[in-house]
Each structure stands twice: as C-alpha cells, then as structure tokens.
Amino acid sequence: MNGPRGDALRRWLPLVGLGVLVLVAAVLTARPPQGGLPLDPSSTGADGTKAVVLLLEQLGADVATGVAAPSDDTDVALLLRDGLDAPAREAVQSWVRSGGVLVVSDPRSDLSPRRARAQPLTLVDATLAPDCKVAALADVGRVVAAGPATYEVPPGGTGCFRRGDGAWLVVRDEGAGSIVAVGGPAFLTNGGLGEADNAVLAAALLAPRPGTRVDVLTLALPGGGDQRLSDLVPRRVRLALLQLAIAFGVVVAWRARRLGRPVSEPAAVRVPGSELVLAVGNLWQRTAARRRAATALRDDLRHTLRQRLGLGADADDDAVVDAAAARTGAPADALRAALAGRDPAGDAEFVDLARRIESLRAVTLQPGGRHDP
C-alpha cells in the first residue's frame, strides 16, 4: 500500500505488534494469586475459605467442596458466589423445597432477597448484633460484617443483624427447607473468620450439630455464568454503538466511489524514445544549457563505468578513475577531467567533451579494450 495511508499503516504496525507481544507475555507469565483464588475452599490466602472448611470438619461435619448440586443426603449447602446457570439454580431450589438448608453469601444472587436501600458509607457499622428471634443464633453475640449490603425482609421471613432499613442476614422458608441469605462472604474468609463471633455464626449456620453433611457448591470461575458478554453491556451503550454504526454507514455511502457508465477516452499519443531525446536536445540547444547537458553526459558515463567495472553505486569519482585507468590505460587526468572537469564555456568545448566521453565509453564497452593515447 502506497501513499499517506500506507505510510501511516507502516508506522502503526510496529506499535500494534509490540502491544500484541506485551499482551501475550502478560498472559503467559500471569500467575494465580498468592495462596489461591478468592473464596476458594482450598485457598490459604486472606480471602480464601479453607479455614471455615477446617472449622466445620473439627466440629464433626462431613464437608464436600466443589459440588455442582447438593445430593439428597446433604443437610446444608453453601453458595459463596452464585455462578449457577438456570438449570442448576432450579435444581438447587428443588433441593431446598425438599427440606434442605441453603446459605447464600452473594448479594447479587437471584436466590437472595431484594437489596435494601444503601446507606452512606460514613454511617455503616461493621460490627452488628443479631437482634432477632432465631434459636440457632442464640450463642452469637456480635459479628463483623464488612460491606454495606443489606436485604429487605420478605413477608414471612426473619431479619437479623439490622442495619438501617435492612437486615444483613435474612432467613426465609421455601417449601420444606429454608434459604439463609447473608450480606457478604467476608465473615467466612480466612482473614475474617477469627473476628468477633464470626466463627460462631459460621458454625451455627453450617454445622448446627455433629455429623451434618455440608456441600460447598462450585464457585463461578472467571468467564463463567449464564450471562453473555452482550448482557453485561448497558442498553444505552448498545444504542449509542448502533447510532455510531448507522452514522458510519451513512458516511461511507456518501463518500463511496460511484461507478457510472464507461466513458471512452482518446488514447494518449505515444512519443518514440528517439524523438523525445531529440526534442530535449533541441530544447537545451536553444536555451544554451551546456552545463546541464554536460552534467547529463558525465552522469551517464559515471553510471556506465561503475557498471562495467563492477563498482558499487556509491563509488566516488576517484575510485572510478583509478579502476578505469587500470582497465583502459587512459590517463587518470583525462578521465577525471571527463567526469568532473570544468563546465564547457562554448559549443566547441562542449563538442570536445562529448567526443572524449564517447571515446571513453566505447573503450569501456569493448571486452579487453585499451585506450589509444
């Protein structure tokens, strides 16, 4: 591609290639977070949940991690982060209706109640008391609940750990079972389990008695879930992109080349090369452009000598003169005068220069030719 567009493309190509290389290097050298992924039951990092698994096992619970859906003999299921698709979510709800207890710590889950009106961050108290009549929470004094998420208490439900107009923990019956929605999973993490009575609350919700079967449902991996990329783009952004696409199409249609009917044009007159040379020579003769004509003859001789003597295109006159003198036997001074002498002052000097140049050219073109001094 030639022209300004081609030059611009060639300037941007190295930058684009460098960006691609940096992206590939970042992907190849990327490492998982220290200790594991957040909320992973096998992670020992501050935001992992291995500590709560160990706590439940010490209390005599039978804990299974990475379970896609709870089985019939499961007593309590823990959903730390909701990445369930529609069929899996329906299966979990069916299990709850049959008598299971589901603990959901993802405020964005469809299984959680509606979010209550958020309070200003300056009014959020991280330490909360139960302040509810739930027998399982009788031994829980205060918990540290990071984050401002609270729920509206649905009809027939029970709200605990009140904060403003909402409750941080909501218990509601569904069929023969119940769903316990918590305003966030921070109290179950390795870094938050030891604060206040967070461990007591975890034990009360997940292992109320020895021998409880607890299933930790599979976490949503990055890129998982039942939402597509287009579902994450707001509607107003999609409309704006559609308007830009329409405007771009209108501009392209307006500026596009419109091919009409073929128009016959007279062919350009071709001038033979000999006539063109003769016309240029006559023009220089009329304008007395001896200096320009002499320069043209010398440049042509210089090019011929470099080519015949095997010299490079950047060889200077001294190298050309030395090689030509050794090849033809011509005096170096005569060669130098022919290549870089003074400009002819009149027609006689110009004719003499042309004859000398032609003589040197003829000798050079003859195989093994020698100059006759």
What is the residue-averaged pLDDT of the chain? 78
Q: Is a pLDDT exceeding 70 seen at residue 215?
A: yes
Q: 177-182 and 166-174: which strand pairing?
A: antiparallel
Q: How far apart are CA 251 and CA 243, in angstroms?
A: 12
Nearest to 188 by CA among 224, 214, 153: 214
Q: Which one has a higher pLDDT value, 116 or 364? A: 116
Between CA 274 and CA 8 the distance in angstroms is 41
| DSSP assignment string, 215-263 | EEEPPPPTT-SS--GGGGS-HHHHHHHHHHHHHHHHHHHHHS----S--
Count how many residues are written for the chain. Answer: 373
Distance between CA atoms of 30 and 60, rounded to whole angstroms? 39
Region of residue 293 (phi > 0: left; psi between -120 and 50: alpha; otherwise: beta)? alpha
Q: How far is CA 165 from the centre of its chain?
A: 43
Question: Sorting pLDDT into bands at 50, 70 and 90, what band is 46?
Answer: confident
248-264 per-position pLDDT tens digit: 888 888 877 767 777 77
Indicate the helix (H) or strand (E) that contains 82. Answer: none
Q: Report the distance separating Cα 74 and Cα 91, nearest Å.
A: 13
Residue 207, amino acid: A
**Confidence (pLDDT) at 372:** 46
Please give the pLDDT value at position 6. 53
59 vs 363, higher pLDDT: 59
The C-alpha atoms of residue 357 and residue 155 are separated, in whole angstroms, by 111
Higher local confidence (pLDDT), 356 or 91: 91
Q: Which residue has the higher pLDDT, 267 or 222?
A: 267
Q: Indicate the pTM of the whole model.
A: 0.53
Helix (H, G, I), strand (E, B) or coil at 297: helix
Distance in angstroms (rounded) separating the CA atoms of residues 334 and 50: 96
> Is residue 88 over pLDDT 80?
yes
Is residue 42 within 8 Å of 65, Cβ to Cβ? yes
Strand order of the β-sheet with 177-182 is 62-67, 213-217, 76-79, 101-104, 177-182, 166-174, 158-163
pLDDT at 291: 77
Q: What percent of the chain has pLDDT over 90?
A: 7
pLDDT of residue 125 exceeding 60: no
CA–CA separation, 51 and 187 (whole Å):
11
The average pLDDT across 340-357 equals 76
- How far apart CA 260 and CA 213 sit, in angstroms, is 79
Q: How are the residues of the chain apportioned to helix, strand and coil, as percentages rounded to the nearest 5?
A: 45, 10, 45
Res. 73: pLDDT tops 80: yes
| pLDDT beyond 60 at 352 | yes
Longest dimension (CA), the chain: 127
Q: Report pLDDT for 12.
A: 64
**3-class DSSP state for residue 87?**
helix
pLDDT of amino acid 18: 72
- Segment 164-178 shows an average pLDDT of 89
Phi-psi category of 257—alpha, beta or left, where left has phi over 0 and alpha has psi -120 to 50? Answer: beta
pLDDT at 274: 67
State yes or no: pLDDT of 266 exceeds 70.
Answer: yes
Mean pLDDT value of segment 132-143? 85
| Residue ranges per structural domain of the chain | 50-217, 275-365
Instruction: Give me the pLDDT at residue 122, please.
Output: 44
Tokens (6 digits) for 226 = 């039942």
Query: Which of 180, 217, 208 is closest to 49 using CA atoms?
Result: 217
What confidence score (pLDDT) does residue 103 get? 92
